[in-house]
């Protein structure tokens, strides 16, 4: 099978699935668990702020996640400064969550766009402290290159604003990022439906991270399966190599050998 030898490798760790999923916005934990299972994802991101780190006697999101089966990717959602994001990652590590972190430093509440200046500051400190940093960033090739040069294990440019479902708004930037960096490129945020995920993969992205498109769907479990298939089919199509686009027709049935 063409898929069997096609692993996603991040900082030396191998994954069969190229879909990463979030844990927010579900109706309940049962729905979340089922959707994650059906998505086939192996990497699950959780907002450190949503995990009850201090009082483990109370019910926590983590009680519902099989930590032997999934790789946890704690994220710094809700952090607006480098200082806050660094503190959150340290907390996650001290609580034994992981040192594999999705670094988010947001610019404002309306757009939830990254504050790249603060992101770079935080990434520098966290990498020096031994964290494996996967930064959520804008679809800017220059920033992605800087993040790679400072030692980030992957770059995670947004497809569109978090939760917007607008899809890949600037495929050309994603294409330039893919040509610019060697670390895995994971589209993070903005996916609305399966075709958006397939487009990201067909462009050559190494993976897609999403939450709202699955959790906010009318049937999250069915959408999780659609995303599972879309990421895999987009990847297969990318590897297979699409035909070039042409302005004019070329007959599908060859004309050579026709009886005149």
Ligand X SMILES: CC(=O)[C@@H](O)[C@H](O)COP(=O)(O)O
Residues annotated catalytic, as ranges: 102
Which of 126-134, 140-148, 174-182, 211-219 is the region at the interface with ligand X (rule: CB under 6 A)?
Answer: 211-219
Nearer to ligand X, 191 or 194 (CB): 191
Burial of 182 (0-12, 13-18, 19+ CB in 10 A): exposed
Q: Does 22 bind ligand X (CB under 6 A)?
A: yes
Nearer to ligand X, 28 or 55 (CB): 28
Which of 125-133, 172-180, 208-216, 225-233 is the region at the interface with ligand X (rule: CB under 6 A)?
Answer: 208-216
Annotation-wise, does 52 bind a ligand?
no
Token output for 220 = 């999250």
Query: Which residues between 108 and 147 bind ligand X (CB under 6 A)?
Result: 136
Q: What angle do CA 193, 219, 66 make, to 5 degrees?
A: 95
Distance between CA atoms of 3 and 88, rounded to whole angstroms? 36
Residues 150/200, Cβ–Cβ less than 8 Å = no
Closest listed residue to residue 80, CA positions, set 46, 51, 110? 110
Annotation-wise, does 189 bind a ligand?
yes
Q: Does 77 bind ligand X (CB under 6 A)?
A: yes
Token output for 18 = 């190229």
Helices 220-240, 29-39: inter-axial angle, 10-degree rounding? 20
Q: Does 78 bind ligand X (CB under 6 A)?
A: no
Distance between CA atoms of 92 and 80, rounded to whole angstroms? 17
Nearer to ligand X, 198 or 213 (CB): 213
Q: How many CB atoms lie within 10 A of CB 6?
A: 13
Nearer to ligand X, 112 or 178 (CB): 112
**Cβ 86 to ligand X, closest distance in Å?**
18
Annotation-wise, does 5 bind a ligand?
no
Q: Does 45 bind ligand X (CB under 6 A)?
A: yes
Provide the binding-site residues for ligand X, judged by CB under 6 A: 22, 24, 45, 75, 77, 102, 136, 162-163, 188-191, 209-213
């Amino acid at each position: 099978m063409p898929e069997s030898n096609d692993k996603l490798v991040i900082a030396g760790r191998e994954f069969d699935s190229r879909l990463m999923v979030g844990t927010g916005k579900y109706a309940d934990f049962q729905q979340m668990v089922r959707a994650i299972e059906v998505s086939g994802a192996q990497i699950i991101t959780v907002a450190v702020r949503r995990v009850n780190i201090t009082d483990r006697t109370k019910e926590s999101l983590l009680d519902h996640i099989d930590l032997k089966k999934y790789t946890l990717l704690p994220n710094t959602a809700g952090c607006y400064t480098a200082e806050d994001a660094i503190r959150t990652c340290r907390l996650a590590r001290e609580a034994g969550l992981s040192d594999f972190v999705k670094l988010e430093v947001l610019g404002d509440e309306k757009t939830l766009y990254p504050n790249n200046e603060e992101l770079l500051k935080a990434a520098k400190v966290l990498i020096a402290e031994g964290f494996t940093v996967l930064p959520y960033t804008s679809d800017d090739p220059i920033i992605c290159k800087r993040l790679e040069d400072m030692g980030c294990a992957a770059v995670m440019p947004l497809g569109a604003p978090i939760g917007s479902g607008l899809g890949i708004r600037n495929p050309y930037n994603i294409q330039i990022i893919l040509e610019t960096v060697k670390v895995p490129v994971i589209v993070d945020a903005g996916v609305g439906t399966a075709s958006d995920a397939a487009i990201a993969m067909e462009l050559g992205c190494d993976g897609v991270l999403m939450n709202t498109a699955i959790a906010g769907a009318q049937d999250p479990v069915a959408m999780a399966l659609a995303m599972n298939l879309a990421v895999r089919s987009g990847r297969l199509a990318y590897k297979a190599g699409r035909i070039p686009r042409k302005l004019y027709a070329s007959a599908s049935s060859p004309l050579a050998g026709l009886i005149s």
